[in-house]
Structures are given as C-alpha cells and as structure tokens.
Amino acid sequence: MDSLITRRHLLTTAVTTAGIAALARVLPARAQPATAIRLTAERRTIEVNRKAVSVFALRQPGGTQGVILDPGQRFTLDLTNLSGQPTIIHWHGQLPPWKEDGFPWRQTPPFAPGAARYYDFQPITGTYWMHSHRGLQEQSLMTAPLIIRNASEIREDRQEIVMMLHDFSFRTPNELLAGLTGATPDAADRMATQMENISSPSDPSIAANSPGSTQGNMTMPMGGMDMSHMNMPGMRRGSSMRMSLNDVDYDAYLANDRTLADPEVVRVAAGGRLRLRIINGASSSQFWIDLGKLTGQVVAADGHPVNPVAGRRFPLAMAQRLDILVDVPSEGTFAILAQVEGKRARTGIIIATTDAHISRINNAVAAAPAVDNSLEARLAAVNPLAPRKPDLVYRITLSGNMRPYAWALNGQYWPNITPLMLRKGQRVEIELVNHSTMAHPMHLHGHAFQVVALNGTSIVGAVRDTVLVPPMTSVRLAFDADNPGRWAFHCHNLYHMVTGMMTEFRYDGIAL
C-alpha cells in the first residue's frame, strides 16, 4: 500500500505545481483581504483500479481539498478557475445571498477559465460540501468538503474524520448521459448545460395560484384530485410495484478518492473519541453506511443537529450528510463502509489504532436493500421551526421514466418551467408526491427546511437541505421564506436534474 500512496502523492504534487504556474500566468494581482481563503478549481490525477485518471479538484494552494472553517470564521473566499472549462461552484446547504449561491442564473453565469470570483458571507455551522453546478462536472469530482466547526464541537475534543463518497466511471459524464437518453455525447453536453428558464409570469399571482398550489386557506388541488389526505397504491410496505435502482453502472465507488481495494487508513488512539462527517457526494448513487463492529450516534443531518439516534447502519441519500459520534473501544481495526443500494459493491475507510495490523476486508456480502426513510422517521431536530400555520403550500408531483429518460416536477421539464412565487416572511410548506418508480433526493437552495410529515403522518423531523422521496410516497417540508432571491429546487440525482427535474422558487420583487 505504501508504494501506491507514494505514487498518488507524486501525481497530485505534479498537478498542483502545474496549477500554481498557470495561476501566475493568467491572473493579474487583485486586492482581496489577506484573510481570504484561496481556492482553485483545477484538474488533478488520481488512481482508480490501478489506472491513473484525470478528474477535477477544488483545493487550496497547499493541496487541501475543500475548506474547513473555525468557529466564528467568516466565509471569505477567493475562487480561481484553472479547470480549463467554464464553471460555477455551489456551496451546498449554506444560506448566502442568492447571487453568491453558485447557481448559473443569467445574473450569475459560470465564469471562464482564468477568471476568479470573490465570496463573502456569514456561514452556518455543520457538515456541508461544495460542487460544480455547471453541466456534468460534479460527476468528474468537481466536489469537496465544506466544514464549518462550532464551539461545542471543539469542546467535545473528538478527532474529526471526513469521509466523502463518490461514484466513478471511466466513461465521460457526457457518455453516461448519452447512454441514458439515447442522444449523442455532444447533444448530451448541450442538454446538461441548459441555463435558466427564459419565460417568467407577467403576473406573479398566476404562478402562486397555479394548479398544484394552495394560497392561504384556498386549496387548488393538483390534477383535480385533493391530495391532502393521500393514500395511494404502492405507498405502503408490501406493494407489488417494482422499484428502479441505479441508473448508471459505475466502474468504482470511492471514499476520499480511493476504492476499498486500497482504502485510506486513519490512525486513532485506543479508546479514542471520533466525529465522523460522512458526505454523499455521489452523482447517482445512494449508500448504506455500515459501522461494522462499532456503534455510533447520529447527532446531525445535513449539518443541523438532531437528537441522538444510535445504530450501526444508516441510509444516506445523494447529497445528504451525517455526523456520527463513535467511541473506539479497544485496540484493533474498524472498517467504516458504504454499500451501494441494490448492489454488493462497497467502499469506505479503515480506522485503526496505533499499532494495529491492517487486514483485507471480506467482500462476500449480499446486495443491499434500497435506501429508504427509516432513519428520517427517527430523526428529530434540536432546533425545530417555531409552530405556525403555513401561509403558502405547494404540492409538487415527481414523475418520470427510464424510457424515454426524462424526469419532471408537476409535469414541467427544466428549463421550461413556471417559477413558484414567494413573499418574504411567509411560512411555506411543500408536499412532495413521488409518482415514479425511482427515489428522488430533493434539494432546496438558500433555505433549511424541516421534514414535517412522511406519507401523511406528522413528525417533528430533522432540519436539513436534502430529503429523499422514495417511490410512491409523500414527504412534507416546511421553511420560512427569509432569504429573498432566486432559488433552485431539484433532484440531486445529477442525471434526473439535467433531464428536467428542477424548478425555481422566486421571491416577489426580484429583478430579472
């Protein structure tokens, strides 16, 4: 394993040196605060299944992937694009002003190779991540951790371990999308880089009172059917409806850029106390997190604290994060694994005490079940929303098919959508109803929402930014409209998003 680690180091160092040289050539001197973090979008080389492959990077001059901020530290960041392509980076789960969110609206387009952008906002604490929101760059690992620590975590005095998960293919992302849609790779690239919707409602009340929404106490049922007390076939256990899993057949699954054949080994003290920060940065794969011999306590979901939930195995949908506290009981090695739903394939890292021998991991396991909301039903927010009746309810149907490969929200396909209008100060609820045979991890930009119902049963659930809606189920969310702007709402399966499953929440008065 040592020779491989050395080879990885040499590959990474070579790319870093080239990036710094390019930076000196293309960038003029710019006056930014000395405290600003320097981050570069560039290319790097990693090794997957003994093959050297070129992927993207989001890293600091010393080679650190992503950003870790100390308690109270402001998000002051200078991002330079040396990737060779236009790009734009989204700070997933953070709540910045909308023009710093990193979404390619016309007002905030991707920036060209050699260009730079400056960001300055007050972050919220927890485990987050960053990723490209341009085309399919996320699939090529234009992603990195974004950790904002708080004072209570410092007082815990736990060793922090980040495990970031990815799915990987030796085919290009355009080839993967072309294989799903039947298009050519060039046509797939054009599909993936569609920008914002061109049309906008001349009268915001038209969108606010469109089918699928409720305004005040007036119900506007979707498709002529009142779904407020929904009881749909296939919604309960025992349904005969067949679920579809895993759009893409990947070549490898990575944890911190490495496969389980060559896992990262993290040394810890016997009896050590750990905080695992697990990030599902995969583009189209969901995992079961398996702590093996260890028992952990989930204490945060998507960066927001929850009442502790103990266990050894937890579902993790695309784009979601879990903070898990683990105490190492004794000398030895402990695998922290992530198994792909519907498959035997696994990835992960190894936690080992100082002198413990590292042995090979047994891969003789059964295929994992589909990722579900079994954990979601057990989570309860430490800081829930204040009780309040909603001012506005949108009911949104999730639909689509594998053939033809297209996915929609309320029958509309991005970018040909009608924006969903908000006013500052409203309590908003979203009823998500999945009429498809695939699960959809739905992500809202610029807001943290609370999960308030699963399949019509009220809960005081987690506050988070991404929630899974399994096939033929419903999930209800609530949030306060307190961050005016234009905000994307989309499925975080990358290939569902780029083939239509995205819409916009827009505040009244935002100039286009």
CATH of 252-371, picked from 3.40.50.150, 2.30.300.10, 2.60.40.420, 2.170.150.70, is: 2.60.40.420
Output the six-digit token pair for 500: 């239509």
* Six token digits for residue 271: 């009896």
The C-alpha atoms of residue 113 and residue 172 are separated, in whole angstroms, by 20
Query: SS in 3 state form for 279-316?
Result: EECCCCCCEEEECCCCCEEEEEECCEEEEEEEECEEEE
Token reading at 455: 């399949």
Domain 194-225+379-507 homologous superfamily, CATH? Cupredoxins -  blue copper proteins (2.60.40.420)
Sequence-distant (≥ 6) Cβ neighbours of residue 364 within 8 angstroms: none
Q: Give the per-residue pLDDT at 21.
A: 35
Q: DSSP states of 132-198 as a string?
A: E-STTGGGGT-EEEEEE--HHHHHHT-EEEEEEEEEE-SS-HHHHHHHHHS--HHHHHHHHT--S-S
Q: Looking at the DSSP assignment, which residues form a beta bridge with residue 453?
A: 458, 476
Would residue 141 be called left, alpha or beta, if left means φ above 0 and alpha means ψ between -120 and 50 degrees? left
Residue for token pair 């696994």 = 346
Q: What is the pLDDT of residue 325?
A: 98
Please state the pTM of the whole predicted model.
0.88
Q: Which residue has the tokens 């057990």?
A: 378
Measured CA to CA, the distance from residue 299 to residue 296 in angstroms comes to 9
Superfamily of domain 2-156: Cupredoxins -  blue copper proteins (2.60.40.420)
Q: Which amino acid is at 132?
A: S
**Angle at 390 (CA atoms; ends 389, 394), nearest 5 degrees:** 155
Q: Where do you find CATH 2.60.40.420 in the chain?
A: 2-156, 194-225+379-507, 252-371
Sign of the Cα pseudo-torsion (175, 176, 181, 186, in order): negative
Please tell me the predicted confidence (pLDDT) of residue 172: 97
CB atoms < 10 A from the CB of 351, how many? 26
Give the side-chain half-sphere CA count within 13 A for 116. Answer: 19
Beta bridge partners of residue 463, listed in sequence order: 450
**3-class SS of residue 124:** coil
Tens-of-pLDDT digits for all 512 residues of the chain?
333 333 444 344 333 333 433 333 333 334 456 589 999 999 999 999 999 999 999 999 999 999 999 999 999 999 999 999 999 999 999 999 999 999 999 999 999 999 999 999 999 999 999 999 999 999 999 999 999 999 999 999 999 999 999 999 999 999 999 999 999 999 999 999 876 554 444 444 434 433 344 443 322 223 222 333 333 333 333 344 567 899 999 999 999 999 999 999 999 999 999 999 999 999 999 999 999 999 999 999 999 999 999 999 999 999 999 999 999 988 899 999 999 999 999 999 999 999 888 887 877 689 999 999 999 999 999 999 999 999 999 999 999 999 999 999 999 999 999 999 999 999 999 999 999 999 999 999 999 999 999 999 999 999 999 999 999 999 999 999 999 999 999 999 999 999 999 999 999 999 88
